Structure 1
C-alpha cells in the first residue's frame, strides 16, 4: 500500500514538473519535443518586477507548438494560464511588445493588451503589463497565449529574441516634438484652435490643415484584402509634421499592419456609395479632429465599396506628395508615412 502511494506521489510530482497529464506520468509515457528552443532572451521582456520565469516550461510549450502536438499543448497551456502568468506575460510580450501590429486574426484580449505590451517594452517596465495579464480570466489569458504561440510556432524564435534584445537595449522612444515648442521657448505666446472661443456656427475645418484622399487596396499579412485610403496635402502646412502633431498614428513602411484605432472614423454614405470624411471622435463621441471632408459626393466603384462593406475597416496612410501610387511607394521607401486602421461608419 505504501509502495503504491509512493508511486502515485512520484507520478503526481512528475506531472506537475513536466506539465504532462497525470495518467501519462504514472504510466511513464511522457515525451518531449526536441530540440527545445533557446529562450534565454525571454527574461529581457518586461514581465513584472521580481517575478521568476519558468523558462523550461516555456521552452517545452513552444516546442510542442512547433511539433503540432495537441495533447502537450493543451496540458502546458493550462499550466501556464493557471500557474505561470509572468511566463505568459513574457511569451506574449516578446511578440506584441516588438511587433507593430497584432493582425486581424488576433483575439479581443490580445488587441487590448498589445498597446500595453509595447509601452512596457519601450519603457523597460513591465508591472502594468503583468498586472493586466494577471487580472485576465482564464479564457482571456488563454486567448492571449494562443495568439502569441501562433508566432512562436512559426519557428521565428531567433527573430523574436533578437527583436527583444534590440528593444531592451534601445533608449525610451520619445514622441514627436510639438513644432510650436520653439516659439514658446522664445517667449512667444502661441494659441491653437483649442485655445480660442469660436462663435457658434463657425466652421473650424478650414482653419486647420486639410488633405485630399484617393482610394486603393492592400492585403493583410494573413492575405485578406483590405481597402486603403491615402492622404495628400491640400493646404500648404499639411504634411507629415502636421499629422505627427495632430495624430498618434504609427510610422509605417508598407510592411505589416498598423494598430486599429476605432476613434478614427471614415464616414460613408450607403445611398450613393460615397465617402463623407475622415474624423477622430473624442470620448463623448464628438468630432475633435477632421483631416478630410468631401467637397462633393462621388460614387465609388462597386467592387471597392463591396470590400469596404465586408471589411468594415480601412487602412488610412499618408501623407504623400501627389495623388498617385508611385508617390505612396516613394514615401514608404523614405520612411515618411504614418498609418492607422480606422473604423468605417456607414450612414
Structure 2
C-alpha cells in the first residue's frame, strides 16, 4: 500500500513537472520532442516580473507545438496556464515585438499593446498583472496564439532575425537605404520572408519613400497589397539578393533603384529556402534603426511605415 502510494505520488510529480499525461507518466512512456529551443533569454525579457520561470516546461511545450503533437500540447498547456509569469514571458517574446494579427484572439489583441509598452519601457508589471488577471480561457487563447507564432516561424526572442547585407554607396542627391532580412507570418500562421528598409542617408525617410513609391501605409496588421511593379532580384548561383527595383509598363527598371547590394552576401539557407517557397516578399520601411526589434512596431503605431508585397525574380 505504502509502496504503491509513493509510486503514484512520484508519477503525479513527474506529470506536473513535464506536463505529460498521468497514464504516460506512470509507465515512464512519455515521449520527448527534440531539439528543445533555448529559453535562456526569457528571464531577461521584461514580462516575468522577476519571478522564477519554468524554462523546461516552456521549451518542451514549444517543441511539442513545432512537431504538431496535440496530446503533449494539451497536457502541458494546462500546466502552463497555471504558471502565469512563464506564460507572460513566452507570449511577450512574440507580441512584445510583433503585432497581434487579425486572426489572433481578442485576449491576445488586447494584451499585445501592453507587451509592447513593457518592452519599450523595460517594465513588466502591467503586462504581467493583465495575464494573471485573465480567466483560464483567456490565458489559453493567449498561449495558443503565442505557440502558433513560435511554431510557424521558429519564433522566440529572435523571431525577427535581422542580418545586415552590407551598405550601398551614397551617391550625392539620392537618398539611400540598406536592407535587413526578417520574416513575418501570414494570417494562417505560415512564415513569410520580409525585408526591412533602414535609412542610410539624411534624405532617406517617409517623405522620400512616398515620393518614390506608391506603397500603402501599413499598420503591421493585415498584409499589404501585392504589386507586380516592384521586384526583388535574387541570384540563384550565389544565393544572394542583388536589388529592389520598380519596373515600368515597358518592363524597364525605374532609376535609381531603391536599393542595390554593394557586395554579394550569401543568404542563410533557411531564409533562402523560405524565399524560394514564397516567391514573394514583404518590404516595409523606412526604419531609423532596423536592428532595434521595436522599431517596426513604433513606426507602424505612429503611421510612419509604408509596405508592399513584391515579387521575387530568380536568375
Normalized against structure 2, the TM-score is what?
Answer: 0.54
**2:222 equivalent to 1:222:** no
**Corresponding residue for 1:93?**
92
Partners of 2:217 and 2:206 in 1: CA distance:
19
Q: 1:161 and 2:157 equivalent?
A: yes
**SS of equivalent to 1:89:** helix
Unpaired runs of at least 5, structure 2: 163-184, 190-204, 208-214, 223-253, 259-282, 288-298, 307-315
Matched, 1:116 2:78: no
Distance 1:44 1:141, change over 3 A: same
- Structure 1 gaps of 5+ residues are 167-219, 225-238, 242-252, 261-325, 341-347
CA contact (8 A) 1:254 1:332 kept: no
| Conserved? CA contact 2:114–2:126, under 8 Å | yes
Q: Is the 8 A contact 2:20 2:75 kept in 1?
A: yes
Q: 1:92 to 1:25 in 2, by over 3 A?
A: same
Deviation at 1:165, TM superposition (A): 11
The corresponding residue for 1:14 is: 14
Q: Secondary structure at the match of 2:157?
A: helix
Residues of 1 paired with 2:78 and 2:124: CA distance? Answer: 23
Q: Is the 8 A contact 2:49 2:85 kept in 1?
A: no
The residue number in structure 1 matching 2:54 is: 54
Q: Does 1:258 align with 2:220?
A: yes
Alignment of 1:318-337 (within 5 A): 334=286
Residues paired across the two proteins, number: 191
Q: Deviations over 1:175-198 (max 9, x none)?
A: xxxxxxxxxxxxxxxxxxxxxxxx
1:4 corresponding residue in structure 2: 4
Change beyond 3 A, Cα 1:6–1:140: same
Instruction: Find the residue that maps to 1:338 and give its secondary structure.
Output: coil
Task: Give the Cα separation in 2 of the matches to 1:155 and 1:258.
Answer: 17
Give the aligned partner of residue 27 of structure 1. Answer: 27
The residue that corresponds to 1:36 in the other structure is 36
Structure 1 distance, partners of 2:31, 2:218, is 37
2:304 to 323, 338, 341: 338
Q: Paired residue for 2:138?
A: 140
Q: Secondary structure at the match of 1:162?
A: coil
- Aligned residue for 2:6, secondary structure, equals helix
* Aligned residues of 1:36 and 1:63 also touching (Cα < 8 A): yes
Query: Given the alignment of the two structures, is residue 152 of structure 1 paired with residue 150 of structure 2, yes or no?
Result: yes
Does the CA contact (< 8 Å) of 1:94 and 1:164 recur in 2?
A: no
SS of the residue corresponding to residue 152 of structure 1 reads: helix
Among residues 95, 101, 114, which one is paired with 1:103 in the alignment? Answer: 101
* SS of 1:102 mapped into structure 2: coil
Does the Cα contact within 8 Å between 2:42 and 2:89 map onto a contact in 1? yes
CA distance in 2, matches of 1:135, 1:165: 32
